[in-house]
Structure 1
Amino acid sequence: MHIEQLRDYCLSKPGVTESCPFGPDTLVFKVAGKIFLLTGLDSSPLSFNAKCEPEYAVELRERYPHTVAGAYHMNKRHWNTVTCNGELSDRQLQALIDHSYDLVVAGLPRKERAALG
């Protein structure tokens, strides 16, 4: 997966916006104003931070120690840094993005969730 694919995939989800609130080198994706994914625009290979259910986060880190780690500068219990180094397929990366998005949407008030469809 490369940055354009990541961006297109994130923006294809209902209610997603993108911005660079932390400076021009960090792209942030939000749903209903809540962050679900961040990525550095200059990282090589591409990596991104995504929200994750805590037990699943531990499982992923143990299973893919060269690809999934606790997210830098974020709550490591709830956020992973995922490196797009070829160990996970694009489909698996998309599933991790979906998981992050779904966790954030699940935490929204009912009215906001309903507006997303």
Structure 2
Amino acid sequence: MDASTLHKTAADSAEELPGALLEHPFGPDWEVFKVRGKVFMLLTEVPGRPVVILKADPGEAHALREQYSQITPGYHMNKKHWITLESGEGVDKELVTELVTDSYLLVVAHPPKAEQPVDPHTYGTGTRAAG
């Protein structure tokens, strides 16, 4: 995936998630996606390079950094719980969508269950929780 499509792919993926909202609390150079008032994705440029900053499980984040040179610790974020994704070889639409969805699910898993827009354990799996 090239740099010009990275932000569009990430933003398109985020906009499909229930309850996701785009804000610009840090000015026009930062697109911040939130769910239930909590950040799950940031889009910006780091010296001219588009980057996507996402929440990640610490173990998964470590494995992703080992596997992809385009994934580094979170820019201006907690390095253990956030990753930064750049465009490049091996970064495709499926990976971006998966990382955006995983970040979203980590964030929606924390509010009280009654306030969750989706069940983080079943969203996207084609199954429904008994209710």
RMSD: 1.7
State how far apart, in whole Å, the 2-side matches of 1:61 and 1:31 are: 25
Q: Percent identity?
A: 36
Q: TM-score, normalised by structure 1?
A: 0.88
Q: How many residues align?
A: 114
Aligned to 1:80: 83
Give 1 or 2 for the bigger CA radius of gyration.
Answer: 2
Aligned to 1:90: 93
Does 2:9 correspond to 1:10? no
1:21-36 alignment runs, 5 A limit: 21-36=25-40
Q: Which runs of 4+ in 1 moved over 3 A?
A: 41-45
Aligned to 2:128: none
- Higher share in helix: 1
State how far apart, in whole Å, the 2-side matches of 1:104 and 1:48 are: 16
1:33-72 alignment runs, 5 A limit: 33-40=37-44, 44-64=48-68, 66-72=69-75
Q: Which runs of 5+ in 2 are unaligned?
A: 119-131
Q: Which runs of 5+ in 1 are unaligned?
A: none
Q: TM-score, normalised by structure 2?
A: 0.80
